[in-house]
Amino acid sequence: MVTAPTFDHVRDAAARIAGHAVVTPVMRHDALDALAGAELFFKCENLQRGGAFKFRGACNAVWALDEVAAARGVVTHSSGNHGTALAMAAATRGIAAHVIVPEGAVRAKLALIEEAGAVVHRCAPTQAAREAMTAQVQEETGAVLVHPYADTQVMAGQGTATLELMAQAPGLHMIVIPVGGGGLAAGTTIAAQGLDASVVVHAAEPAGAADASRSLTSGRRDVDFVPDTICDGLRAAIGETNFTVLSGHGVKVTTVTDEECITAMRLVWTHMKMIVEVSSATVLAAVLKEPRLFAGKRIGLVLTGGNVDLDSLPW
């Protein structure tokens, strides 16, 4: 099993990616505060390189490689933002990036992966096909696997967003992040606890892919499901190490419907004039759904990405 990062890993990642990753802004809006009955601080990772927080983890993983390993290039499987992020990160080091993309990937995200310079390999839209093609490319090229979320350096890199957020918005009571595979959730939890153990990390998850919620409630990883959600960035099953980190820190999850996410996505556009991915909108949807948990608090919300196909908006 992949080793969970420590707080020192997260701090090292921040130093490693400085000069490559963007220090994204934190935005606020009085109308959204009023709706939530809380002070909301939106960490705008939709403005990160590649349009998503994924660049942080990918960049850290790429630059953590020694020269011999890096020369062989990197490989991953991704239907979206992680593939773009890895290709962009590899370009900063001048190495090859191979991305296995399943059929049926969101068109706009596939275009970004290609534009970022990845060598794209297509496969059937199943987890087994992804893993088989990844193993084949590794064997043929010697490329190093940089998993989207089950990777120590990826998790550490994702945690750097929280280091920035807590410096930009001191005194937070809670941080809310979306959870899919759990790379961001694990990194956020480790970073927040390292800075201030009183900060509560809370996850938001689509009801149509609620394996993290089920797993954390039962105390055992339960990933036998077929995702059914518009939140394409959150369809992955939570990773083993990621689950262990969240479980060990008592992270709770609020599940939200696709309709609630779409409403939240529109609210972000209406008030902050930003189009974010529907997966990102889960965090606002969760805060609005459960006011008893969030009212009266200072809350950081991570808007994870903004790579939206404008020809296929969900309203």
- pLDDT averaged over the chain? 96
Q: Are residues 289 and 216 in the same domain?
A: yes
Q: What is the C-alpha separation between 108 and 118, in angstroms, rounded? A: 15
Claim to verify: residue 46 and residue 59 sit in the same structural domain: no
The pLDDT tens digits of the residues spanning 222-249 come to 998 888 999 999 998 999 999 999 999 9
**Is this structure's pTM higher than 0.85?**
yes
Per-residue pLDDT tens over the stretch 52-94 = 999 999 999 999 999 999 999 999 998 789 999 999 999 999 9
Q: Examine the fold and report which residue of 145, 178, 199 is the final residue of a domain before the chain moves on.
A: 145
Q: Helix 183-195 crosses helix 152-168 at what angle (to 10 degrees)?
A: 50
Q: Please give the pLDDT value at position 31.
A: 98
The per-residue pLDDT for 102 is 87
In a domain, residue 203? The reply is yes
- Do residue 168 and residue 279 come from a single domain? yes
pLDDT value of position 1: 80
- Assess if residue 303 is contained within a domain: yes
So what's the pLDDT on residue 80?
84
Residues 134 and 191 in one domain: no
196 shares a domain with 91 = no
Structural domain boundaries enclosing 84: 55-145
Angle at 152 between CA 149 and CA 158, to 5 degrees: 60
CA atoms within 13 Å, Cβ hemisphere of 66? 2
In-domain check, residue 204: yes
pLDDT of residue 67: 97
Q: Which residues does 66 contact at the CB level (< 8 Å), separation at least 6?
A: none
Domain-embedded: residue 1: no
Task: Give CA separation, 143 vs 93, 122, 132, 203, 313, in Å.
Answer: 14, 17, 14, 33, 36
Outline where 18-96 has alpha helix (H): 30-36, 54-64, 67-71, 81-93
Per-residue pLDDT of 27-60, as tens digits, reads: 999 999 999 999 999 999 999 999 999 999 999 9
Q: Which of 145, 177, 195 is the last residue of a domain?
A: 145
Q: What is the pLDDT of residues 128-178, one digit of tens each?
A: 888 899 999 999 999 999 999 999 999 999 999 999 999 999 999 999 999
Is 2 within a domain?
A: no
Give pLDDT tens digits for 176-195: 999 999 999 999 999 999 99
Q: Are residues 160 and 247 in the same domain?
A: yes
Whether 65 and 83 have beta carbons less than 8 Å apart is answered as no
Give the count of domains, the chain.
Answer: 2
How confident is the model over 111-117, as a mean pLDDT?
Answer: 92
Residues 174 and 279 in one domain: yes
Q: 238 with 91, same domain?
A: no
How many whole angstroms separate alpha carbon 83 and alpha carbon 240? 21
- What's the CATH code of the domain at 158? 3.40.50.1100
| Cβ-based neighbours of 94, under 8 Å, separated by 6 or more | none
Statement to judge: residues 266 and 285 lie in one domain: yes
